[in-house]
């Protein structure tokens, strides 16, 4: 039998025997209106979207990045935002054709598009499917008009319902995003939102606790939110409700029917690689002896201007050895079933000894369980995830 000490090897710098799986993230930075709680890189679209120009910029960006991921198959693609469903089916088709011509997409690649439930967008769902998108992630947030209004959403409950219906008619792999602990929301209302979502039988649900993020309108003018105990009650109830409806709770906010976990997000949480193209997009790319992070300019105008003169230039930096354990654990601890301990060395290129003291401490505090093969957060660890992650930060 393997003992903990037999897992210890001695190596001082990262070294990868095999590179991690690779995903592609494509950022579309525009929205009809900025929501007051949102800190994503999204910008109000004024007038018509420069979509053709932007698709050309994305493909130029991709082409310049190709040498950094040369020959590696891409297992998943995620087109996120912003509101990617604002772009036309024609532009999306051109984008995906351009991606396929430049990168070896796996035959069964998961290709997700984030969509908002506006009427105009819902009418495009079938076209998006025909263009090659095979998973739709729909930002419902709530099925309650009062709460949608409080969130500053541009759609109402009827549009949310119609969009969910249309999404499930065109796609056999649909995620619905919901948020809870909304301004003025009661536990019964939160449960009613979950029940309404489950009634559509989506393959996946992402249920987020509304947080007040710095640099948002809600942060500056905080609305009256349910207190911590009420929010915790809502969380316990929705987890039980979703377990009862055959959704596996596999990550902090993610629930999936059997075989329908998000492959793209799992690759992030398992500290896989991703190339991010588009305004404000980030990449993490492993090489034989180092891991590189890239970020592109957040402003769509600047990004387009860079492309217009022929070069989207990301800022780049190597992840330091000291940062790697924390970065790995910030992702891996989000998964309810935890991770195989061998994944730490496989993804960071470092020895497991680096995190043994923190693993021991987390176990002693009841935040983590571990055997010779796996480590996973306990229920207490999941409820106090920030405290648990803190133990691994440099
Ligand atoms: C990239 S965002 C937006 C996707 C899409 N534009 C929309 O709004 O429907 C993805 C998801 O993050 C969640 N989200 C955004 N801001 C949040 C916040 N402050 N707290 C909790 N969840 C948030 C929402 O559920 C949202 O659907
Ligand atoms: S629509 Fe989505 S991405 Fe755009 S501002 Fe609202 S939450 Fe953010």
In tens, the pLDDT along 293-331 reads 999 999 999 999 999 999 899 999 999 999 999 999 999
Residue 43 alpha carbon to ligand 1 centre in Å: 14
Residue 38 alpha carbon to ligand 2 centre in Å: 6
Q: State the CB neighbour count (10 A cutoff) for residue 130.
A: 12
Residue 314 alpha carbon to ligand 1 centre in Å: 25
pLDDT of residue 123: 85
Q: How far apart are CA 238 and CA 243, in angstroms?
A: 8
Counting as low any pLDDT under 50, the low residues of the chain are 1-12
Of the candidates 212, 213, 340, the residue with the CA atom closest to the CA atom of residue 271: 340
pLDDT of residue 13: 57
Domains present along the chain, CATH in parentheses: 19-268 (3.20.20.70), 321-394 (1.10.10.10)
Which numbered ligand comes closest to the C-alpha of 33?
2
The pLDDT tens digits of the residues spanning 8-41 come to 333 445 677 789 999 999 999 999 999 999 999 9
Which numbered ligand comes closest to the C-alpha of 209?
1
To test the pocket of ligand 1, the residue of 29, 40, 118, 252 to mutate (highest count of ligand atoms within 8 Å of its CB) is 40
Q: How far apart are CA 251 and CA 184, in angstroms?
A: 27
What is the reported pTM?
A: 0.95
Q: How far apart are CA 6 and CA 302, in angstroms?
A: 52
pLDDT of residue 2: 34
Of the candidates 197, 301, 212, 321, the residue with the CA atom closest to the CA atom of residue 257: 197
Please give the radius of gyration of the chain, using alpha carbons only, rounded to the nearest integer: 21
């Amino acid at each position: 039998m393997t003992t903990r000490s037999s897992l210890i090897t001695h190596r001082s710098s990262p070294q990868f025997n095999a590179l991690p799986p690779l995903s592609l993230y494509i950022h579309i930075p525009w929205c009809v209106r900025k929501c007051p709680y949102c800190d994503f890189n999204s910008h109000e679209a004024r007038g018509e979207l420069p979509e053709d120009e932007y698709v050309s910029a994305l493909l130029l960006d991709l082409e310049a990045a190709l040498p950094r991921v040369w020959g590696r198959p891409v297992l998943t693609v995620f087109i996120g935002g912003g509101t990617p469903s604002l772009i036309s089916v024609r532009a999306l088709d051109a984008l995906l054709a351009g991606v396929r011509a430049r990168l070896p997409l796996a035959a069964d690649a998961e290709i997700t598009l984030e969509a908002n439930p506006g009427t105009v967008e819902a009418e495009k769902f079938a076209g998006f499917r025909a263009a090659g998108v095979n998973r739709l992630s729909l930002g419902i947030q709530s099925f309650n008009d009062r709460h949608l209004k409080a969130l500053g959403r541009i759609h109402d409950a009827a549009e949310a319902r119609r969009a969910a219906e249309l999404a499930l008619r065109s796609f056999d792999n649909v995620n619905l995003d919901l948020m809870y602990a909304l301004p003025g929301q009661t536990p019964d209302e939160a449960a009613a939102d979950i029940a309404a979502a489950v009634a559509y039988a989506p393959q996946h649900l992402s249920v987020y606790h509304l947080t007040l993020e710095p640099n948002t309108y809600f942060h500056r003018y905080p609305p009256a939110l349910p207190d911590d105990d009420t929010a915790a009650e809502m969380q316990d109830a929705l987890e039980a409700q979703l377990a009862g409806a055959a959704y596996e709770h596999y990550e902090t906010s993610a629930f999936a029917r059997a075989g329908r976990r998000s492959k793209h997000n799992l690759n992030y949480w398992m500290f896989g690689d991703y190339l991010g193209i588009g305004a404000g997009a980030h990449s993490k790319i492993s090489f034989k002896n180092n891991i590189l992070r890239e970020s592109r300019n957040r402003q769509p105008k600047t990004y387009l201007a860079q492309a217009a003169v022929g070069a989207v230039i990301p800022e780049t930096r190597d992840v330091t050895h000291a940062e790697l354990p924390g970065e790995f654990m910030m992702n891996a601890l989000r998964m309810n079933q935890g991770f195989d301990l061998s994944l730490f060395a496989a993804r960071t290129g470092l020895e497991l000894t680096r995190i043994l003291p923190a693993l021991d401490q987390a176990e002693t505090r009841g935040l983590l369980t571990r055997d010779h093969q796996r480590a996973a957060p306990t229920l207490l660890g999941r409820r106090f995830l920030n405290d648990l992650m803190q133990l691994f930060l440099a």
